[in-house]
């Protein structure tokens, strides 16, 4: 009869093992995310831009040779702390974590049981406080592309909702980081969500509500009218680039070491004929999807390696810095 309190205590002690672990306050040098889907990458990107931290992509199960090379390169330049976004089951395996630790890194992982939960944990653990947030429908991949630059420009987190129900994890994050205004970006977010957000005392502004998903090709389509201050964005990117180079003590040489590029980024750069080409031609030249090309262009532009010049309805992509093979 008196044995149950002991069993109950054992149960309580075992519960934290089964729960997602919050990240400690650490200064991260590199972020690693699953590279075959946009969700974790996009959620991490706003923080990456805010703190000027590079993001590397990996296969969910095995650390690719190119990503490992990049990690080793950053380690040689002084990087020591890696942040993984996503759990071990369907995002980044334990084997990958072991491989990264073997290089010499200290590894922290932020995750939860689903994509909305992981986005919430990223907001709570990394932002800790933000007056504003972006919310998107997590089932619409194009919404990630639309929301990404807006969140980066404002330096605010991206949270995820379903079409008709606001996840508990998202509500928790909104309250935990004290959000006062939410930008609902992209289509297929019902008025029920807007009403629920309003009931929490949060001001809601909708952007891109009526976008035709079949016509979404890239963030550079100005029909989305997200009112991005281009001058501020470029200034932020420039400051971030300088900070990144100082942190990793790159030489003042204008060329970019090849190891800072992912394998896909190298492929896209190589596809630029004579150092430039129209963005609309790059999917065929690289055999990448249009969303993937858009994401890569965003990354290379944020690193100051390429720049875009408006040409009619598309953009001309130009290589801004030579690539130096240091191997």
Q: What is the pLDDT of residue 211?
A: 58
How far apart CA 170 and CA 117 sit, in angstroms, is: 7
The per-residue pLDDT for 240 is 44
CB-side neighbour CA atoms (13 Å) of 280 = 9
Q: How confident is the model at residue 2 (pLDDT cuts 50, 70, 90)?
A: low
> How large is the average pLDDT for residues 174-187?
95
Residue 152, Ramachandran bin (φ over 0: left; ψ between -120 and 50: alpha; else beta):
alpha
pLDDT of residue 87: 92
Specify which of 28-42, 199-213, 237-251 reaches the highest per-range mean pLDDT.
Answer: 28-42
Q: Is the pLDDT of residue 8 over 70?
A: no
Predicted local confidence at residue 215, as pLDDT: 42
User: Which of the residue ranges 9-13, 195-199, 208-212, 213-217 has the most confident prediction, judged by mean pLDDT?
Assistant: 195-199
Percent of the chain topping pLDDT 70:
75
pLDDT for the residue 145? 75
Tell me: the pLDDT tens digits for 107-117?
A: 999 999 999 99
CA-CA distance, 162 to 169, in Å (whole number)?
A: 12
Comparing 24-38, 92-106, 179-193, 303-317, the range with the smallest average pLDDT is 303-317
Distance of CA 191 to the CA centre of its chain: 27
Tell me what the mean pLDDT of segment 15-20 comes to: 45
H-helix or E-strand spanning residue 58:
strand 55-58
DSSP strand pairing (314-319 vs 276-278): antiparallel
**Between these two residues, 124 and 70, which has the higher pLDDT value?**
124
Just give the CATH number of 253-324. Answer: 1.10.10.10
Tell me which of 251 and 313 has the higher pLDDT: 313
HSE-up (13 A, CA, CB side) for residue 211: 32
d(CA 248, CA 76): 9
pLDDT band at 200 (very low <50, low <70, confident <90, very high): very high
Tell me the domain boundaries of the chain. Answer: 20-224, 253-324
Q: What is the pLDDT of residues 203-238, one digit of tens each?
A: 999 987 765 544 444 444 433 344 434 333 333 444
pTM for the full predicted model? 0.62
* Range 272-300 average pLDDT: 83
The pLDDT value given to residue 320: 82
CA distances from 175 to 43, 123, 168, 267 (A): 18, 11, 11, 42
């Amino acid at each position: 009869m008196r044995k149950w309190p002991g069993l109950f205590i054992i149960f309580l002690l075992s519960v934290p093992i089964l729960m997602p672990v919050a990240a400690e306050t650490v200064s991260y040098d590199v972020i690693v995310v699953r590279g075959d889907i946009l969700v974790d990458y996009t959620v991490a990107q706003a923080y990456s831009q805010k703190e000027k931290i590079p993001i590397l992509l990996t296969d969910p199960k095995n650390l690719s040779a190119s990503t490992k090379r990049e990690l080793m390169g950053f380690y040689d330049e002084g990087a020591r702390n890696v942040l993984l976004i996503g759990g071990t089951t369907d995002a980044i395996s334990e084997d990958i974590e072991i491989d990264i630790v073997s290089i010499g890194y200290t590894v922290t992982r932020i995750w939860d049981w689903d994509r909305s939960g992981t986005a919430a944990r990223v907001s709570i653990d990394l932002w800790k406080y933000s007056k504003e947030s972006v919310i998107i429908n997590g089932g619409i991949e194009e919404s990630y592309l639309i929301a990404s630059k807006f969140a980066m420009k404002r330096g605010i987190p991206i949270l995820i909702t379903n079409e008709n129900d606001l996840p508990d994890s998202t509500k928790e994050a909104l309250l935990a980081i004290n959000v006062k205004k939410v930008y609902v970006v992209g289509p297929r977010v019902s008025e029920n969500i807007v009403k629920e957000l309003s009931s929490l005392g949060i001001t809601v502004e909708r952007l891109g509500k009526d976008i035709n998903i079949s016509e979404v090709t890239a963030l550079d389509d100005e029909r989305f009218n997200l009112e991005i201050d281009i001058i501020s964005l470029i200034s932020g990117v420039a400051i971030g680039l300088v900070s990144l180079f100082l942190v990793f003590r790159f030489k003042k040489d204008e060329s970019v070491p090849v190891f800072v590029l992912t394998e896909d980024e190298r492929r896209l750069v190589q596809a630029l004929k004579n150092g430039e080409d129209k963005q609309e031609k790059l999917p065929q030249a690289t055999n990448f999807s249009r969303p993937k090309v858009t994401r890569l262009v965003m990354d290379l532009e944020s690193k100051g390696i390429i720049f875009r010049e408006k040409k009619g309805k598309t953009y001309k992509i130009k290589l801004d810095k030579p690539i130096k093979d240091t191997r």
